[in-house]
Amino acid sequence: MSEIIRFENVYKEFEDGGDTIEALKETSFSINAGELVAIVGPSGSGKSTLLTMMGGLQQPTNGKIFFNGQDISEMKEKDRNDLRFDKIGFILQASNLVPFLTIEEQFELVDKFRGSKHDREKAKKIMEKFDIYKRKNQYPGDLSGGERQRAAISRALYPEPNLILADEPTASLDTERAIKVVKILDDITKESNRTTVMVTHDNRLLEYCDRVFKIIDGQLTEETADK
Ligand SMILES: Nc1ncnc2c1ncn2[C@@H]1O[C@H](COP(=O)(O)OP(=O)(O)OP(=O)(O)O)[C@@H](O)[C@H]1O
Ligand SMILES: [Mg+2]
């Protein structure tokens, strides 16, 4: 199996008015292509911090993070940006849709940023997968929370990233739809040997994941599989 992400003795702290918050205690692990990984833990335990470091959006205080064997911190800023645009799909906790563009235009924007040709058919297919195509001419503000979330997921998947980092992608969905979304993520992960790391509060989704990482007060442990 090929390794996509590796954390080596990674530690992250924040200073908060004289206090030091240990957002992630020292940890080492690696994640392979083809794996769907869940991150669980209480609010404030360090899940988003872990996820954003995986995507190179934040740097660790200590330790090294490798993407495809390359040390992210040693990459030039430009290469790090290219990596985020080409290889990583972010689904952030706050929906990152652009408010003044329709759903369909959000997909066109992806190609504008990347300098790639827009593929209307491909965009349609992925929107249909998440049952959002019929809302393609609406603005994010006119969609329900769940529709916005599905639109954000499909937009993140459209450029076919190797690594999908999703912060509570199913938070606004009912259980049935949440399971459906996770199954689609799992299919996509397996089908094209990609990797998905997903933060979730919903224990019912864990059985669809290959691995489960748990964080409590910044301490990461891996649950042993019982599936
Ligand atoms: N930029 C920052 N400056 C200071 N403290 C921060 C910063 N970012 C996160 N923290 C703190 O680090 C800890 C972990 O935050 P994080 O956002 O990773 O938690 P989380 O597990 O994602 O929580 P939630 O489930 O509520 O989203 C929290 O105590 C948070 O207040
Ligand atoms: Mg969070």
> Does 54 map to a domain?
no
> Does 50 map to a domain?
no
pLDDT digits (tens, 9 = 90+) for 35-61: 999 999 999 999 999 999 999 989 999
Q: Model pTM greater than 0.75?
A: yes
Instruction: Answer for the pair 41, 184: CB distance below 8 angstroms, yes or no.
Output: no
> Does 120 map to a domain?
yes
Instruction: Find the angle CA(223)-CA(14)-CA(199) to the nearest 5 degrees.
Output: 35
CB atoms < 10 A from the CB of 82, how many?
13
What is the tally of structural domains in the chain?
Answer: 1
The CATH number of whichever domain residue 86 belongs to comes to 3.40.50.300
Query: Quick one: which H or E segment has residue 223?
Result: strand 219-223
> Does 7 map to a domain?
no
Regarding the beta carbon of 12 and ligand 1, being less than 6 Å apart is answered no
What separation in Å is there between the alpha carbon of 118 and the centre of ligand 2? 32
> What is the side-by-side order of every strand in the sheet holding 36-40?
88-91, 163-167, 195-199, 36-40, 211-216, 219-223
pLDDT digits (tens, 9 = 90+) for 78-136: 888 888 888 999 987 666 899 999 999 999 999 998 889 999 999 999 999 999 999 99
> Does 101 map to a domain?
yes
- The whole-angstrom separation of Cα 47 and Cα 168 is 10
> Does 203 map to a domain?
yes
Ligand 1 pocket mutation, candidates 13, 47, 57, criterion most atoms within 8 A of CB:
47
Domain of 202, in residue numbers: 33-45+75-223
Backbone angles phi, psi at 208, to 5 degrees: -90, 0
Instruction: Answer for the pair 111, 117: CB distance below 8 angstroms, yes or no.
Output: yes
> Does 70 map to a domain?
no
